[in-house]
Amino acid sequence: NAGVTQTPKFRVLKTGQSMTLLCAQDMNHEYMYWYRQDPGMGLRLIHYSVGEGTTAKGEVPDGYNVSRLKKQNFLLGLESAAPSQTSVYFCASSYDRSTPPYEQYFGPGTRLTVT
Amino acid sequence: GENVEQHPSTLSVQEGDSAVIKCTYSDSASNYFPWYKQELGKGPQLIIDIRSNVGEKKDQRIAVTLNKTAKHFSLHITETQPEDSAVYFCAALQTSYDKVIFGPGTSLSVIP
Protein backbone atom coordinates (compact mmCIF):
# COMPACT_ATOMS: atom_id res chain seq x y z
CA ASN A 1 0.00 0.00 0.00
CA ALA A 2 1.86 3.08 -1.25
CA GLY A 3 -0.75 5.56 0.04
CA VAL A 4 -0.48 8.91 -1.76
CA THR A 5 2.41 9.44 -4.15
CA GLN A 6 3.44 12.59 -6.02
CA THR A 7 5.54 13.04 -9.13
CA PRO A 8 7.98 14.78 -9.45
CA LYS A 9 9.57 15.52 -6.06
CA PHE A 10 11.44 18.61 -7.28
CA ARG A 11 11.17 20.83 -10.33
CA VAL A 12 12.64 24.11 -11.51
CA LEU A 13 10.73 26.03 -14.19
CA LYS A 14 11.38 29.24 -16.05
CA THR A 15 8.66 31.89 -16.09
CA GLY A 16 6.09 31.07 -18.76
CA GLN A 17 6.81 27.34 -18.93
CA SER A 18 4.13 24.78 -18.25
CA MET A 19 4.11 21.58 -16.27
CA THR A 20 1.84 18.95 -14.75
CA LEU A 21 2.08 17.50 -11.27
CA LEU A 22 0.74 13.98 -10.83
CA CYS A 23 -0.90 12.63 -7.70
CA ALA A 24 -1.88 8.99 -7.30
CA GLN A 25 -3.61 7.17 -4.43
CA ASP A 26 -4.28 3.47 -3.94
CA MET A 27 -6.79 3.69 -1.08
CA ASN A 28 -9.91 3.97 -3.26
CA HIS A 29 -10.61 7.42 -1.83
CA GLU A 30 -13.37 9.52 -3.37
CA TYR A 31 -11.97 12.94 -2.47
CA MET A 32 -8.65 14.35 -3.64
CA TYR A 33 -7.09 17.76 -3.00
CA TRP A 34 -4.22 19.97 -4.09
CA TYR A 35 -2.69 22.37 -1.57
CA ARG A 36 0.19 24.77 -1.68
CA GLN A 37 2.33 25.47 1.37
CA ASP A 38 4.13 28.77 1.80
CA PRO A 39 6.07 29.95 4.89
CA GLY A 40 3.76 31.37 7.54
CA MET A 41 0.61 30.67 5.53
CA GLY A 42 -0.15 27.06 6.29
CA LEU A 43 -1.83 24.90 3.70
CA ARG A 44 -4.06 26.65 1.17
CA LEU A 45 -6.45 24.68 -0.98
CA ILE A 46 -5.98 25.16 -4.73
CA HIS A 47 -8.52 22.74 -6.23
CA TYR A 48 -10.25 19.60 -5.10
CA SER A 49 -12.34 16.74 -6.47
CA VAL A 50 -15.22 14.87 -4.86
CA GLY A 51 -15.11 12.00 -7.34
CA GLU A 52 -13.94 10.81 -10.73
CA GLY A 53 -14.69 13.38 -13.41
CA THR A 54 -15.39 16.22 -10.95
CA THR A 55 -13.29 19.24 -9.94
CA ALA A 56 -13.93 22.37 -7.89
CA LYS A 57 -12.07 25.54 -6.96
CA GLY A 58 -10.48 26.05 -3.58
CA GLU A 59 -9.11 29.20 -1.93
CA VAL A 60 -6.33 29.99 -4.45
CA PRO A 61 -7.26 28.47 -7.86
CA ASP A 62 -5.95 31.21 -10.20
CA GLY A 63 -3.16 30.07 -12.51
CA TYR A 64 -3.87 26.36 -11.98
CA ASN A 65 -6.03 23.75 -13.69
CA VAL A 66 -6.84 20.20 -12.60
CA SER A 67 -8.26 17.01 -13.99
CA ARG A 68 -9.57 13.79 -12.42
CA LEU A 69 -10.05 11.39 -15.34
CA LYS A 70 -9.41 8.33 -13.16
CA LYS A 71 -10.46 7.88 -9.55
CA GLN A 72 -6.93 7.17 -8.39
CA ASN A 73 -5.23 10.12 -10.14
CA PHE A 74 -5.49 13.88 -9.70
CA LEU A 75 -3.41 16.13 -11.97
CA LEU A 76 -2.44 19.74 -11.28
CA GLY A 77 -1.40 21.85 -14.25
CA LEU A 78 0.41 25.16 -14.49
CA GLU A 79 -0.11 26.58 -17.98
CA SER A 80 2.24 29.56 -17.71
CA ALA A 81 4.34 29.44 -14.55
CA ALA A 82 5.00 32.62 -12.55
CA PRO A 83 7.51 33.24 -9.73
CA SER A 84 4.53 33.61 -7.34
CA GLN A 85 3.85 29.91 -7.88
CA THR A 86 7.12 28.95 -6.25
CA SER A 87 5.93 26.76 -3.41
CA VAL A 88 5.68 23.26 -2.01
CA TYR A 89 2.65 21.45 -3.40
CA PHE A 90 0.87 18.71 -1.50
CA CYS A 91 -1.73 16.32 -2.73
CA ALA A 92 -4.13 14.66 -0.29
CA SER A 93 -7.01 12.21 -0.43
CA SER A 94 -9.83 11.15 1.86
CA TYR A 95 -13.03 9.15 2.01
CA ASP A 96 -16.17 11.11 1.33
CA ARG A 97 -17.69 13.41 3.95
CA SER A 98 -20.85 11.48 4.62
CA THR A 99 -19.35 9.28 7.36
CA PRO A 100 -16.14 9.25 9.39
CA PRO A 101 -13.22 8.92 9.20
CA TYR A 102 -12.59 12.39 7.83
CA GLU A 103 -8.80 12.08 7.86
CA GLN A 104 -6.86 13.41 4.90
CA TYR A 105 -3.82 11.42 3.76
CA PHE A 106 -1.05 13.57 2.35
CA GLY A 107 1.64 12.84 -0.20
CA PRO A 108 5.31 13.73 0.36
CA GLY A 109 5.12 17.01 -1.57
CA THR A 110 6.61 18.55 -4.72
CA ARG A 111 9.00 21.45 -4.34
CA LEU A 112 8.56 23.80 -7.31
CA THR A 113 10.78 26.78 -8.04
CA VAL A 114 9.89 29.24 -10.81
CA THR A 115 12.72 31.54 -11.87
CA GLY B 1 -16.05 31.61 5.08
CA GLU B 2 -14.13 29.88 7.82
CA ASN B 3 -10.93 31.44 9.18
CA VAL B 4 -8.56 29.61 11.53
CA GLU B 5 -5.96 31.40 13.64
CA GLN B 6 -3.17 29.58 15.45
CA HIS B 7 -0.77 30.64 18.23
CA PRO B 8 2.09 30.66 18.83
CA SER B 9 3.83 30.51 15.46
CA THR B 10 6.97 29.12 17.11
CA LEU B 11 7.38 27.30 20.42
CA SER B 12 10.51 26.03 22.11
CA VAL B 13 10.34 23.77 25.19
CA GLN B 14 12.74 21.68 27.22
CA GLU B 15 12.46 17.94 26.88
CA GLY B 16 9.95 16.63 29.43
CA ASP B 17 7.99 19.89 29.64
CA SER B 18 4.49 20.38 28.26
CA ALA B 19 3.57 22.24 25.07
CA VAL B 20 0.26 23.94 24.30
CA ILE B 21 -0.89 25.23 20.92
CA LYS B 22 -4.11 27.21 20.62
CA CYS B 23 -6.45 27.76 17.69
CA THR B 24 -9.57 29.82 17.12
CA TYR B 25 -12.12 29.46 14.34
CA SER B 26 -14.78 31.78 13.05
CA ASP B 27 -17.59 29.64 11.63
CA SER B 28 -19.91 28.23 14.32
CA ALA B 29 -21.05 25.54 11.82
CA SER B 30 -17.63 23.84 11.92
CA ASN B 31 -17.96 20.50 13.68
CA TYR B 32 -14.70 18.63 13.18
CA PHE B 33 -11.26 19.77 14.33
CA PRO B 34 -8.17 17.74 13.35
CA TRP B 35 -4.54 18.31 14.26
CA TYR B 36 -1.78 17.40 11.82
CA LYS B 37 1.94 16.98 12.45
CA GLN B 38 4.42 17.70 9.68
CA GLU B 39 7.97 16.47 10.04
CA LEU B 40 10.74 18.04 7.97
CA GLY B 41 10.50 17.07 4.32
CA LYS B 42 7.26 15.13 4.71
CA GLY B 43 3.56 15.65 4.23
CA PRO B 44 1.28 16.38 7.22
CA GLN B 45 -0.09 13.43 9.16
CA LEU B 46 -3.16 13.32 11.39
CA ILE B 47 -2.29 12.89 15.07
CA ILE B 48 -5.59 13.53 16.82
CA ASP B 49 -9.01 14.95 16.07
CA ILE B 50 -12.13 15.98 17.94
CA ARG B 51 -15.76 16.39 16.98
CA SER B 52 -18.01 19.15 18.21
CA ASN B 53 -20.04 16.92 20.53
CA VAL B 54 -16.93 16.17 22.63
CA GLY B 55 -15.07 18.55 24.96
CA GLU B 56 -11.80 16.67 25.34
CA LYS B 57 -9.97 13.72 23.81
CA LYS B 58 -6.72 12.07 24.88
CA ASP B 59 -4.32 9.71 23.18
CA GLN B 60 -1.33 8.86 25.35
CA ARG B 61 0.74 12.08 25.67
CA ILE B 62 -1.50 14.10 23.36
CA ALA B 63 -4.81 15.71 24.23
CA VAL B 64 -7.14 18.13 22.51
CA THR B 65 -9.75 20.34 24.15
CA LEU B 66 -12.62 22.14 22.47
CA ASN B 67 -14.67 25.11 23.67
CA LYS B 68 -17.49 25.55 21.18
CA THR B 69 -18.91 28.62 22.90
CA ALA B 70 -15.62 30.49 22.64
CA LYS B 71 -14.78 28.84 19.29
CA HIS B 72 -11.33 27.73 20.30
CA PHE B 73 -9.52 24.43 20.61
CA SER B 74 -6.09 23.50 21.88
CA LEU B 75 -3.46 20.79 21.52
CA HIS B 76 -1.63 19.68 24.65
CA ILE B 77 1.53 17.56 24.49
CA THR B 78 2.89 16.32 27.81
CA GLU B 79 6.35 14.91 28.58
CA THR B 80 7.70 16.25 25.30
CA GLN B 81 10.43 14.33 23.50
CA PRO B 82 12.85 15.43 20.74
CA GLU B 83 10.81 13.46 18.18
CA ASP B 84 7.86 15.76 18.91
CA SER B 85 9.79 18.53 17.11
CA ALA B 86 7.77 19.35 14.00
CA VAL B 87 5.25 21.81 12.57
CA TYR B 88 1.72 21.34 13.91
CA PHE B 89 -1.39 22.47 12.04
CA CYS B 90 -4.87 22.81 13.42
CA ALA B 91 -7.84 22.77 11.08
CA ALA B 92 -11.61 23.22 11.08
CA LEU B 93 -14.21 21.55 8.91
CA GLN B 94 -17.92 21.33 8.42
CA THR B 95 -18.46 17.67 7.61
CA SER B 96 -21.35 18.55 5.29
CA TYR B 97 -18.97 20.80 3.38
CA ASP B 98 -16.00 19.79 1.27
CA LYS B 99 -13.21 22.08 2.40
CA VAL B 100 -10.86 21.89 5.35
CA ILE B 101 -9.40 25.22 6.48
CA PHE B 102 -5.95 24.99 8.05
CA GLY B 103 -4.29 27.30 10.53
CA PRO B 104 -0.88 28.80 9.63
CA GLY B 105 1.07 26.27 11.72
CA THR B 106 3.23 26.17 14.85
CA SER B 107 6.88 25.15 14.69
CA LEU B 108 7.64 23.21 17.89
CA SER B 109 11.23 22.60 18.96
CA VAL B 110 11.95 20.26 21.86
CA ILE B 111 15.40 20.89 23.30
CA PRO B 112 17.14 17.81 24.74
Tens digit of each residue's pLDDT (9 = 90 or more) over A91-110:
999 987 777 778 899 999 99
Task: Tell me the residue type at B86.
Answer: A
- Pairwise CA distance, residues A51 & B62, whole Å: 34
N-to-C CA span, chain B: 41
Q: Which residues contact B1 (CB under 8 A, 6 or more apart)?
A: B27, B101
**H-helix segments, A1-115:** none
- B107: nearest CA partner in chain A: A40
- Pairwise CA distance, residues A102 & B28, whole Å: 19
The distance of A87 to chain B (nearest Cα, Å) reads 13
Tens digit of each residue's pLDDT (9 = 90 or more) over B93-111:
877 777 788 999 999 999 9
Q: Does A108 touch chain B (CB under 8 A)?
A: yes
* Cβ within 8 Å, pair A43-B89: yes
Distances (CA, A) of A48 to A12, A64, A75: 24, 12, 10
Q: How many other C-beta atoms lie within 10 A of the C-beta of residue B109?
A: 14
A44, A45, A90 ranked by CB distance to B43: nearest:
A90
In the predicted model, what is the mean pLDDT of chain A? 94
Q: What percentage of chain A reaches a pLDDT higher than 90?
A: 86
